[in-house]
A and B are shown apart, each in its own frame.
Chain A
Amino acid sequence: MLLPEIPSLREPRAYLLVTANRLMINLNRRHKVEEETLLSMSALIADQSCQDVAHIAAIRQLLERTLLMLIEELDERSRQAFMMARVDGMTYAEIAQVMNVSESRVKQYLVKALAYCHQRFYRIKADWHA
């Protein structure tokens, strides 16, 4: 894609506009790459034909890292609950105690985190504010 030439710095406002434009384009591209990566990973996961242990372990590790990245996009409470449950291996009751909320509230946080990851992976548009 051809980008417009950058005007000289004697016109700072125009320069800024062009730069911002480029940033936006890059951002859009980045999102697209990200979405495609997630989608191809979901295809990789669905392919259960490979029984090689090393290969399966590699996919799992990749998936684990991706999930922990996606979790970063969540709100603080859901992220905290997810990390405690899956990284620290705490029970729902233990998490409830640490977060000082009820166990059913903990489950709500976890459901939210998990559903969010699922939607990101399978490119399903979420509507959390509905």
Chain B
Amino acid sequence: MPETADSDISSLSEQAAQWAICLSENQVSNEQRADFEAWLAQDPRHPIAFEQVNYLWQSVIPRKRQSYAGIKTFASIAVLLGGLYGLPLSEWLADERTGIGEVRRITLADGSWITLDSDSAADIVFDQQQRRIILQRGRLLAEVAPDSMQIPRPFVVENRDGHAKALGTRYIVEQTRHDSIVDVIESQVAVASRARPGESITLQAGQSIRLDSQRLHPPEASTSFAASWVDARLVYQDAPLSQVISDLARYRKGFLKINEEAGQLRFTGVLPADNPEAALSILENALPIRIKQHSQWFVWIDSQS
């Protein structure tokens, strides 16, 4: 780093931090974008400082989108009880999180697996009555093994919006900003919303359902490639580009923004989740868009006009 006055460098950190904080909220106006680009071009130290600051900012992965005291309380009670009564080893509790670009398969105490998608978080709470997975954010695939306990415990994935109880083997639970989606790949799953835990709908393999905390939507046919993200492939059939981009953003560091018009374009095809740069160039070839890449940490997608 070149010799410069302290106050100068101090303001460099601060400016870079200001941009990182400003850009990490969802809406970025054209004016802000232009200002940001001007700032980046102003001084060769600016892009470097921005990259460093942004990396620090994104290195702490939030556990969840919203805080609920309820789940925390439950977890601490479970720990407390475990400590008091010396419960068996089958009783355990863990926080699992994945970073951006990281997809991880986790073996659970009963031999079941969960695969956490990029940028996701889940708590694992096993006790004598239940095998509970609490999805805090993102998406997971559950592959359920039969329980070896004398009285088999149910396997349940729950989140902000409701719960999905396994009646068989493989299914996916995803939490988006507004709602949740359950995709059943094999066997059956009983799904209920948080508001009406008693009124569940049983989904068959190949079905999917959307729910929010208040209600369940009617079940739909699931796409046959719902679990393709596990193999780092993102498969789309006539999907809005805005959705494709928000999926890609989960696998990619830095900012990926799209303007509204381009977001309405439709895409059909396969993208590599483990290579977001290649995915972007596939999109650029397939659709009438322009990708402005200032560096690896700020990409802007515009419609071609």
Contact = CB atoms under 8 A, between A and B. Distances in A.
Do they bind each other? yes
B102 A126 contact: no
Given A56-B101, A127-B6, A115 B59 contact: no
A110 B14 CA distance: 10
B62 interface: yes
B60 interface: yes
Contacts of B14: 111-112, 115
Contact of A89 (B12, B49, B66): B66
B56 interface: yes
Q: Which bucket holds chain A's interface residue count?
A: 35 or more
Given A122-B1, A124-B13, A125-B6, A87 B21 contact: no
A14 B101 CA distance: 59
A107 B64 contact: no
B61 interface: yes
Contacts, number: 107
A115 B12 CA distance: 9
Contacts of A121: 52, 56
Contacts of B20: 114
A52 B47 CA distance: 26
A64 B99 CA distance: 11
Contact of B16 (A68, A86, A87, A118): A118
Report which residue of B25, B49, B55, B56 has the largest number of chain A beta carbons within 10 angstroms of its beta carbon. Answer: B56
Interface residues of B, number: 36
B239 to A, nearest CB: 26
A63 B59 contact: yes
Contact of A115 (B53, B61, B62, B65): B53
A114 B102 contact: no
A114 B56 contact: yes
B18 interface: yes
Nearest to B99: A60
A108 to B, nearest CB: 9
Contact of B9 (A53, A112, A117, A124): A124
Interface in A67-111: 67-68, 84-92, 94, 107, 110-111
